[in-house]
A and B are shown apart, each in its own frame.
Chain A
Amino acid sequence: MNNEPRHMRRIVTAWVIASVIGDLLWWFLVGPHIPPGNMTESAHWNQFDFNILAITALPVVFMVWIWMGYALVNWRDKPGVPDPVGGEAAKAPYKVQAAWISITSIVVISAAIYGTIALIGDHGSGGGEGPNPVWAPAGTIAANTAAIQGKATWSPTGDQPLVVQVIAQQWKFNYRYPAFGGMETNRLILPVNTDVVFDVTSLDVIHDFWAYQLSVKADANPGVNNVAFAETRQTGQFMVRCDELCGIWHGAMYNSGRILSKTAFMAWATKTEAQNASNTKYLPPFAWTYTPDANGANGGLYPDGNVTPYSPYDTYGAKQPAS
């Protein structure tokens, strides 16, 4: 009669219990607090994707730990007991090896398939953004085209996207709102439950616009309009940082932004537009990119109307405004 306990049954039972409890605890207690949070649709799905990967990985971790712990307790060398090494029991069990390789392969391949689908989906973090977006949320292309034609509008009662231009300069971000007279501001303020189109560019070197709570990260390149999207879904404060080493004050290139209710945003935008009107009239016309004037060390700006490989006129099929 074999008195050897059924090790595999014990291990699998402990693993199933630990995995179920671990995954449930992660999903309901830890998951909601995982960055980047829920401030935008993209952020929400980033968080969801991260949590899916976490609850997929946890059982693998538990299997390794439980197996190791069980082996240390039950199969360690004991005084007066023959060395367990050798003989039939020491042979590598073929079924266990096959099961381990199969299960981990399925997990990895599934994660790759899921990650690819999530990445290229319209809520993905790497789906369409760039100088020539391969996808765009409904209405955002029309809104961006209207912006370059000087026809941008936004209303709290409608559902049209809001176009915001992010202008990086050593060492600060400024934000331009074509729907509000082309005003430029120090802080990024957005309305909730709104599709936002970010036109990201730079006036000097390469910067990187990174609002991680919004799940938006886009390089700010001089002469390039880098487009990113976000659908806001929660009010609150978020941080904007430069994520490209851009010079001595790179570490100081950050500021905070807010997502407000639509009516509060409209009130802020209207008030700021009026406050800034005395300066906005001196700004150049809204353009995708700006080129510093070569005249002098400092140089003023003129809108870059040249059609380049990155030109939004090609991207969106919009007509160039009359010069």
Chain B
Amino acid sequence: MIAVGLIIWVLMGLLTPGTPEGVVNYVGSSAPGQPVNLTIQTVGSMGVGDRPTWVSYLARTPQGQWVHDTTWQLPANTLINVTVYQYDSGSPLRNQQYGQVTGTIGNSETVNGKTIHAFNSYDGAGVGHTFTVPALGISVPLLGSPAANLCGVAPCQPKWPHNLIHFSFKTPAKTGEYHWQCFVPCAAGWLYGNGGPMSTQGFMGGFLDVVQQ
């Protein structure tokens, strides 16, 4: 009896998987068909954990908790309203092409209330990071903060200097895992800036796990 129960329990676990560890689930955070809010932040150094000097993205769960996960489960064919707290500095882009906003609603973003379609990364504090989903044609430059006293311990709070960035995009109707990454080689101290956090899942890249709601 106990063995049968164990087998059924294991089978049910396999057949009805929940949200895997390391995935932030936004499905169900809004009514079906309604826009979903995705709030993320970038920080120049985690300040905590095994790799305190590494740059990273963080995401805020629908329950309001900041977590260090870069795979986000989103409903298909749904408008996603993204808010980015950009706490990092910037520099010129390796390829200025990523200074152009593409794939978002209106091919634009707002940075501290100002609408931007393209940004010269040689201006101001440059570009800190990008949010780019190649398969969906989405690329958004996240302008660097010019402040000197930047937050160095994640999760950062809005009292620290930051750029507040908004943009929206629509998830595809086709479900699947869509790779996203930052296209600023921002891993300071690594060859070509592309090692370390740029080459480790969970820091400067991840997946949009698009599923049916």
Determine whether the beta carbon of A299 is less than 8 Å from that of B95: no
Chain A residues lying within 8 Å of B193, measured Cβ to Cβ, are 297-299
Q: Select which of B95, B132, B200 is within 8 A of A203 by beta carbon.
A: B95
* CB-based nearest A residue for B200: A248
B102 touches A282 (CB 8 A): no
Complex interface bits, B77-99 against A, C-beta within 8 A gives 1, otherwise 0: 00000000000001111111101
Instruction: Decide yes or no: A279 and B97 within 8 Å by CB, A205-B192, A255-B135, A292-B192 being known contacts.
Output: yes
Given contacts A203-B95, A248-B201, A298-B91, contact A282 B118 (CB under 8 A): yes
Contact B199 A248 (CB under 8 A): yes
Most buried by B among A247, A276, A297: A297
B99 and A247: CB pair below 8 A?
no
Cβ contacts under 8 Å, A171 to chain B: 134, 181
Closest to A277 in B: B118
Judge whether B179 is part of the interface by a CB distance below 8 angstroms: yes
Any chain A CB within 8 A of the CB of B76? no
Whether a CB of chain A sits under 8 angstroms from the CB of B121 is yes
Chain A residues touching B, range: 20 to 34
The majority secondary structure among interface residues of chain A is: loop
B93 touches A298 (CB 8 A): yes
Q: A270 at the A/B interface (Cβ < 8 Å)?
A: no
Bound together, the chains give a CA A249 to CA B135 distance in angstroms of 13
A253 and B205 alpha carbons, distance in the complex (Å): 13
Contact B194 A282 (CB under 8 A): no
User: Is B143 part of the contact surface with A, judged by Cβ < 8 Å?
Assistant: no
Residues 121-137 of B at the A interface (beta carbon under 8 Å): 121-122, 126, 132, 134-135, 137
Say whether B95 contacts A252, CB under 8 Å: no
* Bound Cα distance A264, B183 (Å): 31
**A302–B206 alpha-carbon span in the complex (Å):** 30
Q: Which of A33-73 contact B (CB under 8 A)?
A: none
5 shortest interchain CB distances as A-B pairs = A300-B92, A279-B118, A279-B100, A252-B179, A297-B188
> Is A170 positioned at the interface, with any CB of B under 8 Å from its CB?
yes
A29 to chain B, nearest CB (A): 33
Task: Enumerate A233-278 residues with CB–CB distance to B below 8 Å.
Answer: 247-249, 252-253, 255, 275-276, 278
Which residue of the partner chain A has the closest CB to B128?
A: A298
Q: Which residues of B contact A276 (CB under 8 A)?
A: 100
Residues 273-300 of chain A, each 1 if its beta carbon lies under 8 Å from chain B, else 0? 0011011001110000010110011111
Residues of B within 8 A of A195 (CB): none
The answer, yes or no, to whether B117 is at the interface (CB within 8 Å) is yes
Q: Are the C-beta atoms of B94 and A283 separated by less than 8 Å?
A: no
Report if A172-B194 is in contact (Cβ < 8 Å); known contacts: A248-B201, A284-B96, A301-B96: no
Shortest CB–CB separation between residue A168 and chain B, in angstroms? 10
Q: B96 near A299 (CB under 8 angstroms)?
A: no
Q: List 25 A-B contacts (CB under 8 A).
A: A169-B94, A169-B183, A171-B181, A172-B134, A203-B95, A204-B192, A204-B194, A248-B199, A248-B201, A248-B205, A252-B135, A278-B100, A279-B99, A279-B100, A279-B117, A279-B118, A282-B96, A282-B122, A290-B95, A297-B186, A297-B188, A300-B122, A301-B94, A301-B95, A301-B96
Residues in A whose Cβ lies below 8 Å from that of B179: 249, 252
Q: Is A308 an interface residue (CB 8 A)?
A: no
Interface residue ranges of A141-167 to B (CB < 8 Å): 167
What is the distance, in angstroms, from A303's C-beta to the closest C-beta of chain B?
A: 12
Q: Looking at the assembled complex, report how far the CB atom of A54 sits from the nearest CB atom of chain B, in whole angstroms.
A: 35
- Whether B91 lies near A249 (C-beta < 8 A) is no
Minimal Cβ-Cβ distance residue in B for A284:
B96
Other-chain contact of B189, A248, A282, A293, A297 (Cβ < 8 Å): A297
Q: Which of A82-120 contact B (CB under 8 A)?
A: none
